[in-house]
Amino acid sequence: MPSRKKTSMFGSAFGSCVCSFVLVCVVLGTQQWVSSQVRFARTNTSVTISLDYGLFQGTCGQFVEAGLQVSQKAFQVADSLSSTKTRGTNVAIIVILVLSLLTALLSSGFTCTNTVSNPYQTFLGPIGVYTWNSVCGILILLAMILFPVNIEAHGLSEELAQACSTSLQRHISSKHSYGYSYWLMLLILLLNIASAIIIYFYDHARYSKKKEHERPIENAPKDVILF
């Protein structure tokens, strides 16, 4: 059976890993990733397309120059994308988040195993927790980078706005505001770091205690050496 200290520390890490798993599910399932205001020129007037969307679906509203709302509707992101760059990047982000979901689940399993038992295999111990937490953190960081790249560099919002309305002639300006679904990934990253830090302190304390029990013979009392 594991010691009380190991149970408490791995239990805390387990809680962090479970929270990471739940938050990845929330990030995938919600559409509050970004809100965009995309302005286009139209004959004798200008039109602003308001977008709120995530990886799978969103809503768009059309406003004329005077501020009158003309229409608002829901749309599927995949069906509205025609560019290879925007579609490919969006699919890549989804795949990355699904992989991070699996690594968060594995990390939860490893920490839970160490909470209730002492695994014989080295990889099932702290090394495995470090590995899966690191992989999950790297995947989340990659998703956080790719999504703004898809918006700023590939023009994701402009493409979705054009799919939501017709007769749009010339793009004038765009404003983007990232929502809570996007910023939750930062919290997931912090939780992964917290889990790794907890296990590091446990592993370091265990290593220091082991070294104390393996003191060199030079530090032993002289009468013990003579005996």
Is pLDDT of 187 > 90? Answer: yes
Domains within the chain, CATH numbers bracketed = 4-207 (1.20.140.150)
Q: Cα(first)–Cα(last) distance of the chain, in Å?
A: 37
For residue 3, name the pLDDT band (cuts at 50, 70, 90). confident
pLDDT at 217: 47
CA–CA distance, 90 with 17 (Å, rounded to integer) = 25
Tell me what percent of the residues of the chain surpass a pLDDT of 90.
Answer: 53
- Read off the pLDDT of each residue in 94-103 and give the average, rounded to a whole number: 97
> Residue 77 is which amino acid?
V
Across 69-82, average pLDDT: 85
What lies within 8 Å, CB to CB, of 206 at 6+ separation is none
pLDDT digits (tens, 9 = 90+) for 112-165: 988 888 876 777 888 888 899 999 999 999 999 999 999 999 999 999 998 887
What's the pLDDT score for residue 219? 54
Give the residue among 165, 172, 175 at the shortest CA–CA distance from 46. 172
Asked whether the beta carbons of 49 and 40 are under 8 A apart, the reply is yes
22 pLDDT tier (thresholds 50, 70, 90): very high
Q: pTM of the prediction?
A: 0.86
Segments of the chain assigned E as strands:
34-42, 45-53, 57-64, 69-76, 170-178
pLDDT of 177 above 70 = yes
Residues near 133 by Cβ (< 8 Å), separated by ≥ 6? 17, 103, 107, 192, 193, 195, 196
